[in-house]
């Protein structure tokens, strides 16, 4: 059943003993939603815990500061920023029993008994903010830090095209509530491990250009990762943004070796190239400006296939 | 004379034939202020031009789209984001005759007849927004692009600690007025020339660490710049942010050769180190988190002097 913010708040007020589920491979939005909602519910005198099927990267630790697990018997399961119970890993079965889902993905599968979903929201944290406002609980500094983190990370610190006036308005309110935005932004967007830095350098040393620099490709073989200490999947994921940032590049390709003989291509583009269309040719998909596909082949074959497809796409816009 | 927003608006309404001066080495804030105010005044039927003593970097061209120079005799000079007429280069004498100055620098020298200055504002563009609101002119898409650019660039896309609720609130309004924020943010914060990329790689290949990685130093000798085509001062300036972004680094040093035998050190720090204090030892200065100083010496001497001073500062916090 699709519900609105007022009904979600009513459900939360009338019940108790909540377990909040955050999705696997957690990001700032799902964690920000989970811990903000957990804090709001506890401040109302409710029992609430928030859990994630995967380990939490250290950089997010500030969000659960002073939030020890409570002992109680779970009565109601809530999923936040979880479009599909498949994204809950080993907690999938818990997700299948969800009483409430709060999410902003258009792909939400409506698995929960009550679904509050707003695909036009940049971050699920904006929707949790609406719910917390409807609950009329105070937003303290820690809760503000959580909600700000969700919005900032899902909008690329207000850089991406999904950023709306509402994203900025809520950020303004979070600062007024005491959110430590500069420290959060430094940790989320500027801080790099030495491993990340080394990876970026090695990757960029091997960059290849095609079609007068309109197509750029970087590759991340397993052997490269094995030689860099202190590197995590977050660091490897961030590489995908690099080739597209170079002036003149219409489509940036990152080709990662997932395991021996399996390569994942991640594409990023500007206004002119439809990445999803290119990736669908190889059984992949995604969004217009960001998509991916996989190859079970040699590196050379994968490279030739994806580069040729991108060159063809770039040549097409040249003749418009 | 210090005036308020209402008085600035009254002055602008009652007079005509404005020449708006933007500071040398122009940034997004001075240009955003200048062209936004120029657009607002023209929309009121006034004559107005905005000029800058230095060439405008190409990436800012969208701000003066459809804004050809008007022919008229200047009657009133306005300076925007100009703290001191020294910052006007060869236009200094024009600045000395300014009727109005709109600025947000605490260091403003109050050179103009009327001074509207708000040091608590993150960007002068926020103050120009106040003035445009007081003028009750419509903010069209182009004006919104200018004001948004000023705020976004001076706050590091809302990342820095100077960002206030007001910065976000005005950004929200600018999006509602049609500002093309995603394209602006891409051009301002993500896009890198191939030269910039090569510079970053070379600089990081030579990074040195001291005091268990708490001090990091990168150097930019003239010979490095000579070998990189397509590089500008903006690219070189951006390097200063890199060493401080590395995990564990308390103070990042960038040592640039300005000319044979003259080196400029730029320091950046987190919460623990006072960069201005360190730089003052060498006749420099700046802010707590960002400061600079110069050395007339060999590279080795300059490096030893600034690194030793930073090591000492880092050892001090170790014993707190």
Owner of token pair 């060999």 = B298
Residue B270 corresponds to which tokens in the numbers above?
């987190």
Q: Which pLDDT band, with edges at 50, 70 and 90, does B319 fall under?
A: low
Phi and psi at B264, nearest 5°, equal -110, 125
Which candidate in B152, B171, B199 is best for mutational testing of the A interface (most A CBs within 10 A)? Answer: B171
Packed helices B124-135 and B28-43: angle between N→C axes, nearest 10 degrees: 10
Query: First CA to last CA across chain B, in angstroms?
Result: 46
* C-alpha span between B14 and B17 (Å, rounded): 11
DSSP SS3 for A217: strand
Q: Is B248 on the interface with A (CB under 8 A)?
A: yes
**Parallel, antiparallel or unpaired: strands A215-220 and A251-259:** parallel
Asked if A164's CB is within 8 angstroms of B168's CB, the reply is: no
* Predicted TM-score (pTM) of this structure: 0.90
Q: Cβ contacts (< 8 Å) between A197 and chain B: which residues?
A: 204, 246
For chain B, state the CA radius of gyration. Answer: 21
The predicted-structure confidence for B224-283, as pLDDT tens digits, reads as follows: 999 888 787 778 888 998 999 999 999 999 999 999 999 999 999 988 899 999 999 999
* C-alpha span between A149 and B182 (Å, rounded): 20
Q: What is the dihedral of CA A69, A75, A81, A87, to 10 degrees?
A: 90
Q: Are B156 and A168 in contact (CB under 8 A)?
A: no
Asked if B161's CB is within 8 angstroms of A181's CB, the reply is: yes
For chain A, state the CA radius of gyration. Answer: 21
* C-alpha span between B287 and B205 (Å, rounded): 28
User: DSSP state, A139?
Assistant: -
pLDDT for A319 equals 61
Nearest to B304 by CA among B255, B232, B233: B255
Asked if A169's CB is within 8 angstroms of B168's CB, the reply is: yes
Chain A nearest C-alpha distance from B120 (Å): 15
Question: Chain A, 166-205: which have a CB under 8 Å from a chain B CB?
Answer: 166-169, 171-173, 175-176, 181-182, 185-186, 189-194, 197, 201, 204-205
A163, A197, A245 member nearest B181 (Cβ): A163
**Parallel, antiparallel or unpaired: strands A262-269 and A285-286:** unpaired
* CA torsion through residues B275, B199, B180, A278, sign: negative
**B206, closest residue in chain A (CA to CA):** A201
Residue A295: strand pairing partners? A263
**Parallel, antiparallel or unpaired: strands B215-220 and B208-210:** antiparallel
Strands (E), chain A: 18-22, 48-51, 76-80, 100-103, 114-117, 208-210, 215-220, 251-259, 262-269, 285-286, 290-296
DSSP SS3 for A227: coil
pLDDT for B285 equals 84
Asked if B157's CB is within 8 angstroms of A158's CB, the reply is: yes
pLDDT for A238 equals 85
3-state SS, one letter per residue, for chain B: CECCHHHHHHHHHHCCCEEEEECCCCCHHHHHHHHHHHHHHHHCCCCEEEECCCCCCHHHHHHHCCCCCCCCCCCEEEEECCCCHHHHHHHHHHHCCCCEEEECCCCCCCCCCEEEECCCCCCHHHHHHHHHHHHCCCCCHHHHHHHHHHHHHHCCCCCCCCCCHHHHHHHHHHHHCCCCHHHHHHHHHHCECHHHHHHHHHHHHCCEEECCCCEEEEEECHHHHHCCCCCCHHHHHHHHHCHHHECCCCEEEEEEEEECCEEEEEEEECCCCCHHHHHHCCCCEECCCEEEEEEECCHHHHHHHHHHHHHHHHHHHHCC
Task: Give the Cα-Cα-Cα angle A248, B58, A268 (nearest 5 degrees).
Answer: 25
ipTM score of complex: 0.89
pLDDT mean over B196-204? 90
Chain B nearest C-alpha distance from A244 (Å): 8
Residue B19 corresponds to which tokens in the numbers above?
């020449």
| Choice between B158 and A231, residue whose per-residue pLDDT is larger | B158
pLDDT mean over B154-174? 96
Nearest to B179 by CA among A295, A90, A165: A165
Given a cut of 60, is residue B200 above it in pLDDT?
yes
Q: Cβ contacts (< 8 Å) between A165 and chain B: which residues?
A: 172-173, 175-176
Chain A nearest C-alpha distance from B6 (Å): 25
Q: Quote the percentage of chain B above a pLDDT of 90.
A: 83
Asked if A186's CB is within 8 angstroms of B163's CB, the reply is: no
* A-B contacts at Cβ under 8 angstroms: 102
* C-alpha span between A270 and A288 (Å, rounded): 9
Asked if A163's CB is within 8 angstroms of B194's CB, the reply is: no
Q: Are A293 and A284 in contact (CB under 8 A)?
A: yes
pLDDT for B235 equals 82
Q: Is B288 on the interface with A (CB under 8 A)?
A: no
pLDDT for B305 equals 97
Chain A nearest C-alpha distance from B280 (Å): 26
Asked if A197's CB is within 8 angstroms of B246's CB, the reply is: yes
The predicted-structure confidence for A176-232, as pLDDT tens digits, reads as follows: 999 999 999 999 999 988 888 889 989 988 999 999 999 999 999 999 999 888 787
Q: Cβ contacts (< 8 Å) between B157 and chain A: which residues?
A: 157-159
pLDDT for B320 equals 55
* C-alpha span between B320 and B318 (Å, rounded): 6
Residue B240 corresponds to which tokens in the numbers above?
């200063």
pLDDT mean by block of 10 residues, chain A; 320 residues: 98 98 95 98 98 94 96 98 95 98 94 97 97 97 98 95 96 98 94 89 92 95 89 83 92 94 93 91 87 94 97 84
B168, B205, B213 member nearest A168 (Cβ): B168
Owner of token pair 């970097």 = B57
Residues 6+ apart with CB under 8 A from B15: B75, B76, B99
Residues 6+ apart with CB under 8 A from B135: B9, B12, B13, B40, B44
Q: Is B133 on the interface with A (CB under 8 A)?
A: no
Q: Are B18 and B36 in contact (CB under 8 A)?
A: no
Sheet holding B100-103, edge to edge: B48-51, B18-22, B76-80, B100-103, B114-117
């Amino acid at each position: 059943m699709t519900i609105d913010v007022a009904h979600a708040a009513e459900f939360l007020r009338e019940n108790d003993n909540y377990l909040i589920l955050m999705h696997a491979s957690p990001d700032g939005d799902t964690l920000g939603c989970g811990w903000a909602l957990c804090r709001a519910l506890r401040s109302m005198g409710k029992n609430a815990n928030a859990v994630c099927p995967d380990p939490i990267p250290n950089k997010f630790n500030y969000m659960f500061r002073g939030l020890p697990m409570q002992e109680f018997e779970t009565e109601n399961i809530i999923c936040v920023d979880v479009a599909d119970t498949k994204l809950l890993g080993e907690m999938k079965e818990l997700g299948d029993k969800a009483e409430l889902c709060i999410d902003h993905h258009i792909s939400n599968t409506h698995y929960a008994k009550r679904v509050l979903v707003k695909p036009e929201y940049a971050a699920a944290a904006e929707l949790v903010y609406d719910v917390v406002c409807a609950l009329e609980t105070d937003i303290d500094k820690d809760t503000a830090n959580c909600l700000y983190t969700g919005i900032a990370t899902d909008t690329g610190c207000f850089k991406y095209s999904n950023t709306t006036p509402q994203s900025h308005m809520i950020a303004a309110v979070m600062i007024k509530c005491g959110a430590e935005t500069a420290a959060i932004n430094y940790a989320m967007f500027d801080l790099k491990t030495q491993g990340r830095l080394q990876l970026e350098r090695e990757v960029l040393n091997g960059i290849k250009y095609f079609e007068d620099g309109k197509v750029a490709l970087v590759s991340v073989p397993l052997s490269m990762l094995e030689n860099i200490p202190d590197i995590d999947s977050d660091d490897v994921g961030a590489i995908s943004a690099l080739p597209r940032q170079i002036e003149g590049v219409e489509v940036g390709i990152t080709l990662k070796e997932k395991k021996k003989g399996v390569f994942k291509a991640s594409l990023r583009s500007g206004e002119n190239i439809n990445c999803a269309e290119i990736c669908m040719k190889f059984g992949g998909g995604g969004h217009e400006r960001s998509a991916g596909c996989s190859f079970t082949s040699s590196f050379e074959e994968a490279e030739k296939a994806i580069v040729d497809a991108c060159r063809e796409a770039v040549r097409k816009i040249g003749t418009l």
